[in-house]
Structure 1
């Protein structure tokens, strides 16, 4: 099964015609099937181009046909040459397909495919949220918006999903967010925010750029799988880009630090700096001098936190004067919440009870000292002198 290059050189137009014909007919069949399955125009075009080439199994059939005398040498070389031609041009056409879709879908004829007008326009939308993609992330956003009464509309490229969700009462439009008519249908010009939760990097970039051009004031949030896309998406107009891989890392180290009782505001300070630096710390880059200064500022600043008093806490049954938090820990108690009732700046003879919440103010170091002090078990009578307690705290006991 060898390609005869002399045959190709003798009949280049014939080989090109057969190859182009195969590519066109297969692509047309796949495109039609995709539309019948209710997918978007963009998906249908990319699928048809990706599947239009001759498959490897066809070579097997052609070889068997030739060996059986069903296919002569001329037909065999035409088929073989055309097959190689489709394999060579297929990668180029697949790479060009998104650009082709972006340009052709502006034409009214192509806007007839892979979309519908239902799900939008029932009532005017303004100051709403647009959700592009109804996977796990899109569903979670929609559920929260629905429960809080914030108006929203969904753009979904899967026709079956759109039909099912519309029957369930979701405001959803079947279409492609890379199309200007779809964004206009969803009132992008009057929307407050748009969330992109789709796994199509090229489509996301196109839709972000188009959304920004149609509404300069809209807030754009993008979920992406690749952190390498963050900077480019921000240049195209995204306000916030959330890379999944590093947000997962942040959630993991947050839980690790919580397990070690690191104050939440310290954890939040680390998270904020990482995000402000475009995840540079997690990408193996050193923090900039500005980032390091920001960490120092956040950690040096004071904080407020609450401590829940339990039955076996050192504070249970003691007055504030007996606890003397300022002397032992350096923190200031500004309120005690008992049940639903707060007591602001309670007096020294105020007695602490189990289930009280102590509202403390101080530096991070003092706050850690206060939590360690209050978390101690009540000492025996022979160990309750102020000097002994102070000595234990100063030595980390």
Structure 2
């Protein structure tokens, strides 16, 4: 490779091979991240054929780390964290502590130095945000209570990584590489000095950056130049990261994270995120590819026992322990199992932590290869873990007594109004009182239809009681909760929650008490809609399709169609005529055109 073309060849090779492997991974229903790591292995020095410039790829990967942490800060929402802080702050903190202890103990048992063991433990306590969000999105859980809990849990883990990246160099600097520890006074002094620097940097950004950065972006936005705004966002993220490292001695990651938090408070945060996203995605791919280059596939054959040990730590410390903690913190059993299964892997932040350990000279290449191999295997196996979680939920749900035993001492207290419960008859039950359920409830109130709502958010229930709405606090999918809404006397069940698995269980419980109850359910995909229709529900509505119908109607009216013709076309689309969206979805899934209609 000629030095003058090394950058171009490295970028072309990385993007090209990453695209190929990522596309194959997507076709196999795996996260593209798996393909990017495999592309790195193919381009690395441990595989035959073309070998990319590992050092140059590593420098490009630093940009990926900066933009990745900038994105984390940009989307960091104290409000989202506050809404679920009662469960995610203690839960995620304890989960990280246990996973760290297990990983560190395993490394010490292998005879590693204390410094290497600390880095190893820190690399195993955080799940991949990319993978968890993918699991939640595939199951329509992002907008649900479970989704908010999972995202809040990830936020706490991300904050833990940020603090670890800041304090780790200081702590390891006070511990010699041969395993002898410095005095407690020296460690405390180094850590205190680091904390002072971090506080000074954050204070400066809070006082100056909080005003200067939004002011700069606002003036750039007024120029109307999109490329200038994108350059401004990149200049701020990279400039703050470099400045923080040069002036305050803190990591690039912390500087980029704080820059993102500062911009997130601006009205331009959404545009900044949208403009920076393509660059963030591109360099994140380089980051994953360069990480894969450092993985020696031989670790799978040379140290299978150690790899199984690391996978065991990830399974116990992340998946199982997260599930146990959520149940102990009074989260419903089924939701806790699903979220815990999604946490059963490690990813991007583990790579960053391992790279820091190697750069500090405390973690050997064997340790990094073990972390990378465990990440790759755990991500590949995560869909199997999620499937096993669903089987466990199905098994436990068939034994109400067992489920009640698991949740009895943690079951939420029922909260209901007496306005309606005294004389239930011909009423409606609304499951979930979020944006969708609240709109439905307001419609019932306007026409005087009696209804009772069930929601898992205590604040929502208390607000409903204040407004005179009959309400039950708890998970309607849990035996004993739905009964308080008297489904045997209800005429209609409206499931307004976005989780299809939760909806199925609620429908089963409702029909067990009232086989003739009419049901309206909310869905997010054609397959879910067809499944609920096969169950015989009265109406299964897909939000995106209803939005499309509404937009199509107004588009027809704007294009000159009269009301009657527009109504006729929409009625045909709803079921009487052609359904192009369903046929198009069939083509996307099968690659073949559906049979023509007769």
Q: Normalised by the size of structure 2, how large is the TM-score? A: 0.41
Q: 1:5 to 1:121 in 2, by over 3 A?
A: same
CA distance in 2, matches of 1:168, 1:30: 36
Aligned counterpart, 1:58: 350
Is the 2:346–2:378 Cα contact (8 Å) retained in structure 1? yes
Which of 91, 98, 123 does residue 383 from structure 2 map onto?
91
CA distance in 2, matches of 1:210, 1:263: 42
Unaligned runs of 5+ in 1: 290-397
Q: Does 1:110 align with 2:403?
A: no
- Secondary structure of 1:138's partner? helix
Report the number of matched residues.
Answer: 288
Q: 1:149 to 1:3 in 2, by over 3 A?
A: same
Query: Any idea what the Cα deviations from partners look like across 1:177-203, whole Å, max 9, x if unmatched?
Result: 333433233222221101122222333
- Secondary structure of 2:449's partner? coil
Q: 1:171 to 1:96 in 2, by over 3 A?
A: farther
Aligned counterpart, 1:134: 433
Q: 1:101 to 1:14 in 2, by over 3 A?
A: same
Which of 444, 451, 460 does residue 161 from structure 1 map onto?
460
Q: 1:24 to 1:167 in 2, by over 3 A?
A: farther
The aligned runs of 1:62-211 (5 Å cut-off) are: 62-72=354-364, 78-105=370-397, 106=400, 107-112=403-408, 115-120=411-416, 122=418, 123-124=421-422, 125-211=424-510
Q: 1:8 to 1:256 in 2, by over 3 A?
A: closer
Query: Any idea what the Cα deviations from partners look like across 1:271-313, whole Å, max 9, x if unmatched?
Result: 5554343873665699978xxxxxxxxxxxxxxxxxxxxxxxx
CA distance in 1, matches of 2:315, 2:573: 49
Q: Does 1:247 align with 2:546?
A: yes
Q: Normalised by the size of structure 1, how large is the TM-score? A: 0.59
Is the 2:332–2:478 Cα contact (8 Å) retained in structure 1? no
Q: 1:185 to 1:258 in 2, by over 3 A?
A: same
CA distance in 1, matches of 2:595, 2:350: 54
Q: Does 1:235 align with 2:534?
A: yes
Is the 1:132–1:154 Cα contact (8 Å) retained in structure 2? yes
RMSD (CA atoms): 3.8
- Secondary structure of 2:521's partner? strand
- Secondary structure of 1:181's partner? coil
CA distance in 1, matches of 2:393, 2:466: 30
The structure carrying a bigger strand percent of its residues is 1
Greater shift, 89-98 or 10-19, is seen at 10-19
Aligned counterpart, 2:205: none
Is the 2:431–2:454 Cα contact (8 Å) retained in structure 1? yes
Q: Does 1:27 align with 2:319?
A: yes
Q: 1:7 to 1:152 in 2, by over 3 A?
A: same
The structure carrying a bigger helix percent of its residues is 2
- Secondary structure of 2:579's partner? coil
Higher radius of gyration, 1 or 2: 1
CA distance in 2, matches of 1:176, 1:138: 15
Which of 202, 221, 242 does residue 520 from structure 2 map onto?
221
Unaligned runs of 5+ in 2: 1-290, 584-593
